[in-house]
Structure 1
Amino acid sequence: MTLLDNVFELIDLRSFSNLWFWIALAVTWSTVSHWVLGVPWDMAMRARRGHGETAMADFEDMVRINTGRLLYVAEQSGTLLAGMMAFGLSSLAILGFVYGNEFSQALFLLGFPLTGVGLLSLRTARHIRLEAPRGEALVARLARHRLAVQMIGMASIFVTAMWGMYQNMTIGALG
């Protein structure tokens, strides 16, 4: 085997039979559920447990900063970002499910649910700006958001696993 064969074996574009894809999927959803609106979840837990006055103040400041940042980006370039995301996801869906490109299918199955998480984050950020919850109410709001993100993640992993098994059985039967 040449070096080029080794590289292509390591970076196999048959995503659903590749361990690296499944590691990336797990790391992605783990990271997304840990960083709730850009705030690490352990910071929320420290604030909830009452580790000093500064823990809650730091948590509230972090949520305020990240909420403002998220809403600013949405207000300034939300239409452009929505168009780019729609184009990218549509391209991946067509390449993947119409033309049978497995790599595009994998990217779509990873990106589409993350788009839902992004929209959910915008909704939560708007609620936080309007209601201005503080203390335990803010932690509870982020906990509900995190639970919804985890539900989306579980559904995404399930659908991706089912589609991946189907693809591997289909290609295994053909090959």
Structure 2
Amino acid sequence: MKKEILATSVVLGLGLAASALVLHAHEKPLETVNYVDLKKYLGTWFEIAAFPHPFEKGCSCTSATYGLAKDGSIIVKNRCIKGTELKVTEGRATVTDKGVNSKLSVQFFWPFKGKYWIIDLAKDYSYAVVGHPNRKFLWILSRRPTLDDQTYNQLLVRAANKGFDIRQLVKTEQIGDLSGI
């Protein structure tokens, strides 16, 4: 009986400690990567996983292609398959932390803007993790439609350490490259 009470107390204690860590990480300001070379960041990114949101409901094969506009802003083309239809949404992004380039403001529909913060990025720009400082938005992106399990799991741990509830992540079904469509 004493062993069962002790074991239950240990489990409860660990659970409370983990909850406190998530809450503490959530209270800290969200850290971004130190620097983003925008020329290397441009191109197509495939969504590997994301927090579910109404604007992506029913989507598969989700990708985003970034290109430089003449005015220095970034053209964002999001694509996905919804049912049997290809959906394309175009927006604009601007850098809000000049010189570092890890914080962007993205606008798809006027007057609404969203924060797009790059919080993890491979040295070779093969993957990226993007979030919002309120931690209600999170995307894991890759240059290819798939990402190996080891890398994916490492990104999950790092996102959790930044205060994201990774239990909300849903993997995105990827069939192929829609960027040329």
Is TM > 0.5 for Structure 1 vs Structure 2? no
TM-score, length basis structure 1:
0.27
Considering only CA atoms, is the larger Rg found in Structure 1 or Structure 2? 1
TM-score, length basis structure 2:
0.26
User: Which structure shows the higher helix fraction?
Assistant: 1
